[in-house]
Amino acid sequence: MSLTQKLGKRGRFAKISILVNEHDAGKRLDMVVASCISDCSRSLSASLIRNGKILVHGALKKPGYHVRKGDEICGLIPSPEPVLFEPEPVEIDIIYEDEHVIVINKQPGLVVHPAPGHYRGTLVNGLLYHCPGLKEIGGKIRHGIVHRLDKNTSGALVVAKTEVAHNNLALQFKSRKIKKRYLAIVHGKIEPDSGTISLPIGRHPIDRKKMSTISRKTRSAETSWKVMERFCKATLLEINLKTGRTHQIRVHCSAINHPVLGDSVYCSRKILKNIKAPRQMLHAWQLVFSHPVTKISMSFEAPVPQDMEKLIKALRLLQQPEVVNAKSEF
């Protein structure tokens, strides 16, 4: 964080104090507040500023005020309301389970973790029903979740069932020892048989819900891909991630003008209209990690979901594909 921040609870509000440094001088006040305070959107920060809840040197300012070095931003923001995640009999496709971990084949359309607008019917709700002990694993918010898949991405996902397993798996992810291989159907015919995309990724400069390779604040990201089949209007790729940034595969594929088919966020309307896909055609195919307790290497494969198989068959009918890798049969 480029600004210093002090938080102290005061009833239903949290007291904030932010000191603007040289790096953030010139930015809009509402943007500074939103970027520094967790769970505070730009619209919320603007509303608080307009209502006099957030001041600069004790004076009322507009949300568009450009802060200066040395400005002291003080005020009150609402404390987040506690959310109770209730167990629910959500259908879960279990690939593997023991007393330490559970490996899930997440179906498309299933939200992994409860969030605004999705507090019920999530994978966490289902896991709490299936494994009641998860309530205290990894903190009361994560419930054993050590990595996520987007709502419309399917495939293999590992969940910790104990605190020891959670800490070990989190360390494996942080040190990049866990291997993840994806399948993606992307727009257009990619001519090279393989390649690597090395483009940094950060929050989109305008749309905060999107990620981008042209953000001011980025983190390094690397995606390797290999062609499995080519079609007349699309290509089936096997994708390996060296890093694990938010929306990494979707952003990188879009950046090289081969967006994931069905991706309503990073794929153009024209492409979405020309090739119908029920959702973004991205599947977490294989997952390899060391068991957090036995240390034995474990490898899991999530079967290709029906909607993806159906689209592959439809693309094959349009044109006999060139099979690049003999192991590409599922």
Catalytic amino acids? Answer: 150
Residues paired with 187 in a beta bridge? 234
Q: DSSP state, 171?
A: H
Task: Give the pair of three-digit tokens for residue 75.
Answer: 């005020």
3-state secondary structure of 143: coil
Alpha carbons 110 and 108: distance in angstroms, whole number: 6
- At 312, the amino acid letter reads I
- Spatial CA neighbour of 32 closest among 60, 6, 71, 58: 71
Q: At what angle do helices 29-36 and 42-50 cross, to 10 degrees?
A: 120
Q: Specify whether the CB–CB gap between 277 and 262 falls below 8 A.
A: yes
Alpha carbons 5 and 10: distance in angstroms, whole number: 16
- Residues contacting residue 299 through CB under 8 Å, at least 6 positions apart: 286, 287, 288
Q: Where are the beta strands (DSSP E) in 188-269?
A: 194-198, 201-203, 211-212, 218-219, 222-230, 234-241
Q: Is the dihedral of CA 66, 70, 75, 77 positive or negative?
A: positive
Alpha carbons 235 and 185: distance in angstroms, whole number: 6
Phi, psi of 78 (to 5 degrees): -65, 135
Q: DSSP state, 260?
A: B
Radius of gyration of the chain (CA): 22
